[in-house]
């Protein structure tokens, strides 16, 4: 009987484990270069998931003036951008605090390798994505092959797979 009790898990530890928030999932739309359809495919996936009832929020999407891509934003909730003074001009950046407060099931974060303007919480967008994933928010993002080497350690840390 004593041996059986020693093998039983501690109820408080089990409760703490059950109450832990699961980490968000990351899906990367990868392409050889700009203009191959990564953002378009990401938006198609977002529309499909929204149609299934998932709470989808557009954190950052660059349409690059493509009307077909912009049309896929219809019906998706857009997170207002944060305005930051950078090198004497006003720039628009992702508002991480607003995204965390809104806490959607899924957020779109185009251009994973983007460098944030000085004054943002993190210097790189991938760091914003890490914080979203840690908060239990799923993320769809895009990346070009030329940025892969610079993101090798990050992708390995997130996915557990080293290239």
As given in the structure block, the two tokens for residue 84 are 């930051």
Would you state the pLDDT for residue 12? 77
SS (H, E, C) 131-160: HHHHCCCEEEEEEEHHHCHHHHHHHHHHHC
Average pLDDT, the chain: 88
**CA torsion 129→135→140→146, rounded to 10°?**
20
By the 10 Å C-beta count (0-12 exposed, 13-18 middle, 19+ buried), 153 is classed as exposed
User: For 23-159, CATH number?
Assistant: 3.40.50.300
pLDDT tens-digit map of 80-138? 999 988 788 899 999 999 999 999 999 999 999 999 998 899 999 999 999 999 999 99
Q: How many C-beta atoms lie closer than 10 Å to residue 143's C-beta?
A: 22
Q: Mean pLDDT throughout 25-39?
A: 90
Would you state the pLDDT for residue 35? 84
Would you state the pLDDT for residue 145? 77
Residue ranges of the domains in the chain? Answer: 23-159
Q: Which of the pair, 6 or 9, is modelled with greater confidence?
A: 9
Confidence of residue 17 (pLDDT cuts 50, 70, 90): low
Would you state the pLDDT for residue 34? 80
């Amino acid at each position: 009987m004593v041996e059986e009790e020693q093998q039983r898990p501690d109820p408080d530890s089990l409760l703490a484990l059950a109450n832990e928030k699961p980490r968000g999932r990351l899906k990367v739309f990868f392409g050889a270069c700009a203009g191959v359809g990564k953002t378009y495919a990401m938006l198609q996936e977002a529309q499909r998931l929204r149609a299934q009832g998932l709470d989808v929020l557009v954190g950052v999407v660059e349409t690059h003036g493509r009307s077909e891509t912009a049309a896929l934003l219809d019906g998706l909730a857009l997170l207002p951008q944060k305005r930051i003074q950078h090198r004497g001009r006003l720039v628009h950046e992702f508002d991480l605090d607003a995204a965390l407060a809104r806490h959607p099931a899924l957020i779109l974060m185009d251009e994973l390798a983007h460098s944030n303007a000085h004054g943002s919480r993190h210097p790189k967008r991938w760091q914003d994505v890490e914080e979203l994933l840690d908060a239990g928010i799923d993320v769809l993002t895009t990346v070009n092959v030329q940025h892969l080497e610079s993101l090798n350690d990050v992708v390995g840390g997130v996915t557990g797979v080293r290239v």
